[in-house]
Amino acid sequence: MTTDTPTADLTDDHAFAVWAAEQAGARLLEVRAQGLEGRELKNAGDAAAQELLARLLDEHRPEDNVLSEEARDDKSRLTASRVWIIDPLDGTREFSEPPRDDWAVHVALWQDGQLTAGAVAQPALGETFSTAAPRQVPARTSERPRIAVSRSRPPAFVESLAQQLGADLVPMGSAGVKVMSVVRDVADAYVHAGGQYEWDNAAPVAVARAAGLFCSRVDGSELVYNKDDVSLPDLIVCRPELADEIVAFVRSHGTD
């Protein structure tokens, strides 16, 4: 497979993140069209997207380090000033269930302690959300707040939070899709404490922050990336006006 000739200035990190995520997304759509099913489709998607992103990064950002869900963790990244944090296929289960569109590709750049660029492509939706052209979240269109949750295992504490806020739960797949649902005004918050890793939310958080959303750990503390331990188990992404009430609820009630 050959990649499309880029039309953007790939020396720009924001433009490169978008292009790379969209190239991987296009490759995943090709894999999905091959007639594979179940575990075979999941494995093929993971492998194809990882291979393509690794190749693009090696070609266009050869001096940078990479942290990926689908590759060995090279600890030299811990002393690097630039690290790309990628999830080649976020929402593998949803990807393996055509025609579901709630899966994504994550490409983020961490530089000198901060997330500086990011893109989340939702190929089956035909959209990419990024720091290259940040969306400004529109005024809320729903009467009641909406909280994005896992479609298979919504945590009990989020159900209690929804009661406190008078909110509705909106089930969907993929961590990145849940964060983008707040950017898209499909949901107003995503609150998670069931365990994630840096690649699950680095790109979504970069995009959400650029859109003006509140992002933190569930106790309100900062999200820190490029750590030795890549576990980042909990997350809040929400409209700024909901942040204080959500953080206060979690601090008071916990996540058990």
Annotated binding site for Mg(2+): 69, 87, 89-90, 200
Among residues 144, 172, 158, which one has the least CA distance to residue 234?
158
Q: H helices of 102-174, where? A: 156-165
d(CA 197, CA 231): 4
**Maximum C-alpha span of the chain:** 53
Binding site, annotated residues = 69, 87, 89-90, 200
Distances 119 to 27, 56, 135, 145, 255 between C-alpha atoms, Å: 16, 15, 12, 26, 29
Asked whether the beta carbons of 193 and 234 are under 8 A apart, the reply is: yes
Amino acid at 119: A
Q: Considering Cα of 166, then 169, then 174, then 177, what sign does the dihedral take?
A: negative
Q: To 10 degrees, what angle do helices 240-253 and 156-165 make?
A: 130
